Amino acid sequence: MPPYPDRQPMPLPLQSKGGELRCHVFENPLTGLARDLFWNLRVEFQPVRLDNDDWYSSFAVEWMTFPFDRWRQLDGMSLADVRQPDLVESSLYLFNEHHPAELRHLRFRETDRAIFEVEYSAVADVNDGDGSRLFNVHGKALVTFIGLTVGDSLARDEEDAVKALGQFLLADDLNRPMHEGTGFLFAPTT
């Protein structure tokens, strides 16, 4: 996001209503993206009142990689722990579009089985059609860890999915994979 030394971000009255955390094994040989385990976060908000209208809004952080071998070790991880920080992308969904956001702070704390409190801070560059505005996006939210997905392009069957997962995480805190749509989902054990 380009710097705006003469513009200060405006507060945005966001109230979290929860969210989800997922991860997936992914690679893209065409772009040179090596196979890795990527974490994605989405925080959902109550409708926000702006410009005399109520707008649905959410905040996403994608393509995070962390240095651990069990998903529960996400507890205590922060933006400083991400192995490949140049891949991380964050955005604010507002005015029916995704807008780039500069992520400044992120920390996870497990509060219950597969429930994490995420603390986040970012500045979003929002273009509403009338020009660009900078908004502060910050707060805490409780998010549910849904599980890990190995896509069909990396796994033909359950055995392949277990092998692909085994490159990055131990499966002792995950259920056997279930095929859902375009891949195998390993949900956390409860």
Share of the chain above pLDDT 90, in %: 83
How far, rounded to the nearest angstrom, does the alpha carbon of residue 54 sit from its chain's CA centroid?
24
Domain-by-domain residue ranges, the chain? 10-186
What is the per-residue pLDDT for 175? 96
The helix (H) or strand (E) run that includes residue 158 is helix 158-166
What is the per-residue pLDDT for 178? 95
What is the per-residue pLDDT for 41? 98
The pairing of beta strand 97-112 with beta strand 132-151? unpaired
Q: Concatenated DSSP letters for 116-141?
A: EEEEEEEEEEEE-SS-EEEEEEEEEE
Residue 189 to residue 70: CA distance in whole angstroms: 12
- Would you say residue 107 has pLDDT above 90? yes
Tens-place pLDDT, residues 42-68 = 999 999 998 889 999 999 999 999 999
- Would you say residue 185 has pLDDT above 50? yes
Closest-CA residue to 185 (of 149, 160, 156, 152)? 149
pTM of the model: 0.92
Contact between 43 and 120 (Cβ < 8 Å): yes
- Would you say residue 2 has pLDDT above 60? no
What is the per-residue pLDDT for 4? 53
How far, rounded to the nearest angstrom, does the alpha carbon of residue 102 sit from its chain's CA centroid?
14
What is the per-residue pLDDT for 78? 98
Closest-CA residue to 72 (of 1, 174, 165, 180)? 174
Binned at pLDDT 50, 70 and 90, residue 128 comes out as confident
3-state DSSP percent of the chain in helix, strand and coil, to 5? 10, 60, 30
Residue 45 to residue 137: CA distance in whole angstroms: 11
What is the per-residue pLDDT for 1? 47
What is the per-residue pLDDT for 131? 74
Binned at pLDDT 50, 70 and 90, residue 6 comes out as low
3-state SS class at 100: strand
